[in-house]
Structure 1
């Protein structure tokens, strides 16, 4: 018998989209059966938590104590709202608003899942069956022999065993109806994608509102905000935003969950180490960066704040800080514990590891007077700018790598200012020289790990390299020295000077007095800005 049927997988292949797969993945992400239990947990937690900041923590405790579902059906409509209001009595307006946003988020998830599933069950499955039936019916019509007797049409109907084999007809019919099914699959996929994108946009908006009310969307048993799919949505939105010019409002919008995660990791850092990420947070972090690339990170860091309103400048800085902290969390195996089964960890690291490579890559493969070198240094500067805004520390090994990379690239970029070594550089106009600001950013990031900075600055070889160079912007160097010569962050009043590091730094400063003062090749042929570095050195001498 001729082959007329086609599978759903074949329809998706022909359509170049996967509506059935999309529906399965989205339903798995939302898990509507579990959503009811989660809603009840938050209803109870809202009545017991002291404030919005405690809500997620209390919800987690209740979920763990209950051990899962209690068998009740999901409260719906006015009943859910009524119970929430009753349980919130006495907990304040903010708690009420937080609970309502959480309720809206869960409703949006449930409603979207129903709409997406309905598009499959009530439309695409029906159309798929119709196309299969129509293909079979047409084949029957076209292969049964017809003739006229006395002006009346007569048809010879064959059994399947006796039917003439008409492979060309069958192939043509199958191909055509497969095409019809593929068109329906494309329509369904477009409709479902639009619904899901609107849900993700709405969920991110609710996340911003909840953050302003003091609720951490990355905590608690409700993991809608930290799903891998939400991570990819945010990263793709950020990438598209940067392609279109980098609207600060959208930059902040797409990095909101990442920023909330970093804030919570560092919430108790004044009295304790940064906390480790949960499994869902770690997966979100890795999925987010796996969807980005080095050029995207550079573009974000290189977005200019000049000319922006104060509000937009703040939004941009928040977005840059969120992504910078994301990099630092990936570089801290105590915060983001490596999971060998994580599908995209290596892809996530590839988004920025080219900036940490030493003695290879375009900065070392191209001469300092080349356009390729200047482009590579510009991208490196953008990456460094992100780390300038970071607050999360990297682990010891990664912090050392950041610091070593910073010095290596600074030494390489300084060759632009040495006419005795690279005389051809000075055939170019001075405006062609790109200043290295990225190394200061990497040093600032490395200094977030204060123990590592203490140790590095106690090494005379390291401090000799650090202060034997001139810096177009010494803010990052000053930040690193300030953190690395105290036992606690210098912004805290109880910061205590770490003697070995201070002594090594001041000895190197004395050995390189001219460079610290701003004299040398870079000062002669380029730009040197050392006031912040000199200020921190003067402060060390006074302590």
Structure 2
């Protein structure tokens, strides 16, 4: 070897590509011997198809010969595959399949031979590299000879040597020999690197043609009914093909791609998707080991930046490719579809693993900037490390139309929380130092408020990611069964981008499910949400403003599980119970919250908090939809309980007790909410009384009209409740206004009068609740035909069809109570016993103590938000009790405490 060395690695580095590896990978992936064997067996077998039993006889002979042949197993599998294909497709299709397989094998052989010739042929790349190294040493040897010839030159005289366009000068003893050597080596290395690039391009083009042929022929085979997954020879979905198509997709994306180009370079992924799902998106197959490896190679070849770029591309032409690539990711991580269970699974792509498990926002300098926060003056956009990658990944998965598995879905949800906490940390705790690409601080970046507000408007992609998570009920439930995830998602500062979080909660906790396991998980999540918020209602109300989408979603969850609030004051919680099949064919589970005396009903405190206090805002109290929603749900559920008890012939008294407990807890929360909202007992009394009356009419009118709920397990829609509440308010606003304004003018009563004033308010609530429950119970008895309604008094309260008239039409409460006496006294229901009517005694039977619920009411004892809880949710910082900006925002929410 001469003084100059030009190795294969040198050429690869200089060329920026590796034709040797490309040729080797294709050769390793392409088992030509097996392809030829399969093609040969099919070609010969198809020739025997015209004779009865010819194919079977030929296949049998091949299998017999395979026993002694060196490639026995291969030929035996090919013969067996031939037989099954013939039986499935018939002679004509078999001939077509044989012809296509032969074409593919011939093309593979041609590509392999041409690629090998380009590398190892007489004038191939190997020879070119060796020649370049030899020529470089020859050139350097010529230089050394020339330099030796100059040994007699005067030491003070300069000498010069020109080679490959560059002249080197110096005195003999100090001539720049090293520079000459390096220049000669570089000249020859560049020349062979150019050749290597040409060889790489040639191989790439041949592979492109070959994989294009595979794609075309796969479609033709499908038309004949042939499934390539049944082939005993794996040459359809190779890792080399995956890498090639991914790299070509990135190339065409960088320009102006045509639909045909995008279809071509997502064809491998799309073909796999078509074998796993039907045209309706229903799963009909599973991934093979080779297909799973193909997908992994494809996404690693795209890389983190490529995946993000594809997702962020807003050109309409990209939509089809985005859906295919997104579906490939989701399927690759669906264990039921043959995919990986987790982003951390061995063999899963590193690119997706990084995006899901490792990516963080704002933990290092923004790319291209000298600070954590970068600012581009030309676009006016802020840049954070990791942000663009996650945004693109999230947008890509939003294009998906199939679900991932449970564990991967959970990991996607957790990545969204981590990213949102990351940007919160940057905004609040990083110091907000920002620079432009030159490391300078423009004038606008001296305004911290400008930086803060701009960063707070950024959509991190977390919202979209949670929307993706919400599409998978099982994955959403697994995600929220982790109490830390549930807590963080509910309380996170989403800054108006909480659609995804709300969807996850609604779908995961929805009471009606098509599977009993899902129903029990949903109940467990709902129970956890209500109990968690009840532990510190003032902190949670500070984190979740009243009227926000998350607040409304939590009220909806409480409405679906309204029976959870029907517990006695001192009773412990129960459940979740085993799921049962409801009349609608769906499963539902439930639970009981611990009684009011045990602190379990404190979620209702959360419901009553958050309204702006003060004289000018009293209308907001009257128009608060949350308690209206819960009252509608309570009325529906109580009605269902009574009807079910009558249908079963037992348990009517228990249903009455259930209703008393439920209405007692809601009544307690109503009065407490009034005390929280107002400044003294006079005001609270009037507001509580008037809203109670309005809500009672609203509840019956809304429920009886079939809008918005038909059974206790359905979500009470926010929009219809708000509309009904506004309508009810418009009917009573004038008559109520005078009473309220008069009360608001009153000063706080003397201490001795407080008890009586509160008692008056509670008695009014009790009277209204008693009438409401009487109507519900009577309606059930009348509809069940278990009441004597022949009296003149009864007939006056029935409509033309013999049904109890709507509550709003019964103006004389004495008539309703009198009818209660008639109906209860004549009913055949055996467990009415001592419950002649829902009077004070009825309300207090058993351990319900409805009055005691109300007599214990007092305004909430407010405390400051929990610093550790706030900081844990917003930033992910555990055990942090410092006074952070997030805590300051929570503590200074504009609502009456």
Which residue matches 2:104?
105
Task: Check conservation: 1:238, 1:251, Cα contact below 8 A.
Answer: yes
Describe the shift of the 1:253–1:450 C-alpha distance in structure 2 as closer, same or farther (beyond 3 A).
Answer: same
Which residue matches 1:352?
355
Superposed CA RMSD in Å reads: 6.1
Task: Check conservation: 1:385, 1:438, Cα contact below 8 A.
Answer: yes
Which residue matches 2:714?
542
Which residue matches 1:468?
491
Task: Check conservation: 1:454, 1:484, Cα contact below 8 A.
Answer: yes
SS at match of 1:352: helix
Which residue matches 1:114?
113
Which residue matches 1:318?
324
Which residue matches 2:526?
502
Note the C-alpha offset of 1:382. 1.5
Task: Check conservation: 2:243, 2:297, Cα contact below 8 A.
Answer: yes
Note the C-alpha offset of 1:262. 5.2
Note the C-alpha offset of 1:113. 2.0
What pairs up with 1:78-93 in 2 under 5 angstroms?
Answer: 90=90
Describe the shift of the 1:348–1:89 C-alpha distance in structure 2 as closer, same or farther (beyond 3 A).
Answer: closer
Which residue matches 2:312?
302
Describe the shift of the 1:220–1:368 C-alpha distance in structure 2 as closer, same or farther (beyond 3 A).
Answer: same
Q: Answer yes or no: is 1:238 the counterpart of 2:241.
A: no
2:414 to 404, 410, 419: 404
Describe the shift of the 1:483–1:9 C-alpha distance in structure 2 as closer, same or farther (beyond 3 A).
Answer: same
Task: Check conservation: 1:362, 1:373, Cα contact below 8 A.
Answer: no
Note the C-alpha offset of 1:384. 1.3
1:443 to 459, 463, 466: 466
Give the Cα separation in 1 of the matches to 2:504 and 2:223: 32
Note the C-alpha offset of 1:500. 1.3
Task: Check conservation: 2:307, 2:393, Cα contact below 8 A.
Answer: yes
Which residue matches 1:68?
73
Per-residue CA deviations over 1:171-207 (Å, capped at 9, x if unaligned) read 9xx9899998887766555434432232233334445
Task: Check conservation: 2:120, 2:126, Cα contact below 8 A.
Answer: no
Q: Which runs of 5+ in 1 are unaligned?
A: 49-61, 75-80, 143-167, 521-527
Give the Cα separation in 1 of the matches to 2:230 and 2:29: 17
Which residue matches 2:214?
203
Per-residue CA deviations over 1:235-263 (Å, capped at 9, x if unaligned) read 21122233225655544432332344456
2:240 to 229, 237, 249: 229
Per-residue CA deviations over 1:408-450 (Å, capped at 9, x if unaligned) read 333454689999x989564259777544262134335555775
Which residue matches 2:508?
484
Higher relative contact order (CA 8 A, sep 6+): 1
Give the Cα separation in 2 of the matches to 1:375 and 1:282: 31
Which structure has the larger Rg?
2
Per-residue CA deviations over 1:322-343 (Å, capped at 9, x if unaligned) read 345447789974489955xx6x
Give the Cα separation in 2 of the matches to 1:22 and 1:214: 33
Which residue matches 2:746?
none
Give the Cα separation in 2 of the matches to 1:241 and 1:366: 33
Give the Cα separation in 1 of the matches to 2:284 and 2:511: 14
Larger mean Cα displacement after TM superposition, 509-518 or 201-210: 509-518
Which residue matches 2:123?
124
Give the Cα separation in 2 of the matches to 1:289 and 1:32: 26
Note the C-alpha offset of 1:298. 1.4
Describe the shift of the 1:3–1:326 C-alpha distance in structure 2 as closer, same or farther (beyond 3 A).
Answer: same
Question: Normalised by the size of structure 1, how large is the TM-score?
Answer: 0.61
SS at match of 1:114: helix
SS at match of 1:69: helix
Per-residue CA deviations over 1:102-128 (Å, capped at 9, x if unaligned) read 554334323322333455576526994
Q: Which runs of 5+ in 2 are unaligned?
A: 50-62, 143-176, 433-445, 562-712, 716-897
Describe the shift of the 1:430–1:199 C-alpha distance in structure 2 as closer, same or farther (beyond 3 A).
Answer: same
SS at match of 2:459: coil
Give the Cα separation in 2 of the matches to 1:539 and 1:204: 51
Give the Cα separation in 2 of the matches to 1:298 and 1:126: 36
Note the C-alpha offset of 1:299. 1.2
Note the C-alpha offset of 1:383. 1.0
Per-residue CA deviations over 1:466-501 (Å, capped at 9, x if unaligned) read 2334464555335533553369987x9997463212
Which residue matches 2:476?
453
What pairs up with 1:49-448 in 2 under 5 angstroms?
Answer: 68-70=73-75, 90=90, 102-119=101-118, 123-124=122-123, 128=127, 188-207=199-218, 220-244=231-255, 249-261=260-272, 264=275, 277-278=288-289, 280-304=290-314, 308=316, 313-326=319-332, 333-334=340-341, 338-339=345-346, 347-349=350-352, 352-353=355-356, 356-357=359-360, 360=363, 366=372, 371-373=381-383, 376-390=386-400, 391-394=402-405, 396=407, 398-413=408-423, 426-427=449-450, 434-436=457-459, 438-446=461-469
Give the Cα separation in 2 of the matches to 1:11 and 1:408: 43
Note the C-alpha offset of 1:507. 6.4
SS at match of 2:314: coil
Give the Cα separation in 2 of the matches to 1:251 and 1:534: 46
Note the C-alpha offset of 1:230. 1.0
SS at match of 1:226: coil
Describe the shift of the 1:413–1:508 C-alpha distance in structure 2 as closer, same or farther (beyond 3 A).
Answer: farther
Describe the shift of the 1:36–1:219 C-alpha distance in structure 2 as closer, same or farther (beyond 3 A).
Answer: same
Task: Check conservation: 2:332, 2:339, Cα contact below 8 A.
Answer: no
Give the Cα separation in 2 of the matches to 1:236 and 1:409: 28
Give the Cα separation in 1 of the matches to 2:227 and 2:553: 36
Note the C-alpha offset of 1:34. 1.3
Task: Check conservation: 1:290, 1:351, Cα contact below 8 A.
Answer: no
Give the Cα separation in 2 of the matches to 1:534 and 1:202: 58
Give the Cα separation in 1 of the matches to 2:559 and 2:375: 36
Describe the shift of the 1:197–1:482 C-alpha distance in structure 2 as closer, same or farther (beyond 3 A).
Answer: same
Note the C-alpha offset of 1:538. 7.5
Per-residue CA deviations over 1:485-541 (Å, capped at 9, x if unaligned) read 369987x99974632123345667996679778857xxxxxxx89999998998785
Describe the shift of the 1:382–1:190 C-alpha distance in structure 2 as closer, same or farther (beyond 3 A).
Answer: closer
Count of aligned positions: 464
